[in-house]
Amino acid sequence: MRWVRRAGAEALLVSSVPNVRWLTGFTGDDSVLLLAERQALMISDTRYDQQLGEECPELERVIRRAGTTLMEAVVRAVRQCRVGKLAIEGQSLTAADYLELTAKLTGTTVQATSGMVERLRQVKDREELAAIREAIAAAERGFAVLRATLRPEQTEKEVADALEHQLRLLGAEGASFRSIVAVGDRAALPHYRPGGRRVGQGRFMLVDWGARVRGYVSDLTRVVPTSRIPAKLDRLFRVVELAQAQAIRLLRPGAVAEEVDAAARAVIAGAGLGRYFGHGLGHGIGLEVHEGPRLAPGSKAVLRAGMVVTVEPGIYVPGWGGVRLEDDVLITRSGAQVLTTVSRNLAELALF
């Protein structure tokens, strides 16, 4: 509770689903956690009563009945705990819920906070790291099966659907996010939604995917040539590969996120392609696919051992296509360890 008191509050209402899970182990939703000085209350409803008893047996719970809203139950719990200053998670609690709390908790000061639990989540413990490694392994196995079964007549959407199906067959809970499969010039769109373009209609294909295991995620990107490797693809890939290597060399405890980003960005700019790299270099992964720290311009985050980040420089040329190389990397006490093992070699990845 020291971090709650440092924010000038007596209690924190945790409404972010990933934060509730991280603090309690509860895998459901539509529930909030009230952390007070001498009490921790999980406020939920009858659908989750048994699940809470199984997953969090030592946690005191308040189960609301039909006809009582979640915020009404929160108001009662805050009064029961005699909280004078309540912190809320401003990024996850809705404006309507905030207004209801402030209107009904007339004797309590309600203040919005940001990132309190998320900052704690950035450094992973041994169990979390094991889950992330399992998520990476599942993603890599799924990708291997996909490559072995790809056909030129398959559409991007069919490939993405097949990949996510394989992830589940191989033991993952599902995909980390909606998989991106982009053929040819469609790869110039970093967050492209797979459509009707067929694998054989382009000379290469970008695949951005990940798996979720025990709640934790992986996030990878590879470029897969679907014919003889075009010279331009080879040249741009070498630039991206060098940019990624430069960044990974700088990853260590004490490194500043924006400086790592700048090192990769300088490589791409030095090749005359800086205008084609518009997004940040990477981000943390864990219970969410986008967590802190951000590796991006202006990010003052200081890296610490136990953080897991993506390193994903890219070059996106409108009308031609895009090249992105993404790996998941653990910050260790002495530097960094690349956790992903799937080949990045264009010749090895080529399909036909």
| DSSP per position, 259-306 | HHHHHHHHHHHHTT-GGG--S-SEEE-SSSSSEEEEESTT--PBP-TT
Report the pLDDT value the prediction gives residue 324, as an integer from 0 to 100: 98
Report the pLDDT value the prediction gives residue 38, as an integer from 0 to 100: 84
Contacts of 316 (CB under 8 A, 6+ apart): 187, 188, 189, 190, 276, 277, 278, 322, 323, 324
Would you tell me the crossing angle of helices 126-149 and 156-169 to the nearest 10 degrees? Answer: 130
Q: What is the pTM of this model?
A: 0.95
- In this structure, the answer to whether residues 116 and 130 fall within a common structural domain is no
- In this structure, the answer to whether residues 170 and 257 fall within a common structural domain is yes
Residue owning tokens 């719990």: 77
- In this structure, the answer to whether residues 76 and 144 fall within a common structural domain is no
Preceding omega of 293 cis (within 30 degrees of 0) = yes
243 is written with which tokens? 């940019």
Report the pLDDT value the prediction gives residue 4, as an integer from 0 to 100: 82
Quote the domain boundaries for residue 178: 126-349
Measuring CA to CA, which residue among 349, 132, 313, 348 is closest to residue 219? 132
- In this structure, the answer to whether residues 21 and 163 fall within a common structural domain is no
Residues in a beta bridge with 218: none
- In this structure, the answer to whether residues 212 and 76 fall within a common structural domain is no
- In this structure, the answer to whether residues 71 and 199 fall within a common structural domain is no
Ranges under pLDDT 70 in the chain: 1
- In this structure, the answer to whether residues 25 and 133 fall within a common structural domain is no
Report the pLDDT value the prediction gives residue 2, as an integer from 0 to 100: 76
Domain-ending residue, one of 120, 143, 170 = 120
Domain at 184, CATH number: 3.90.230.10
Report the pLDDT value the prediction gives residue 6, as an integer from 0 to 100: 79
Kindly tell me the burial class for residue 314, based on how many C-beta atoms sit within 10 Å of its own C-beta (0-12, 13-18, 19 or more). Answer: buried
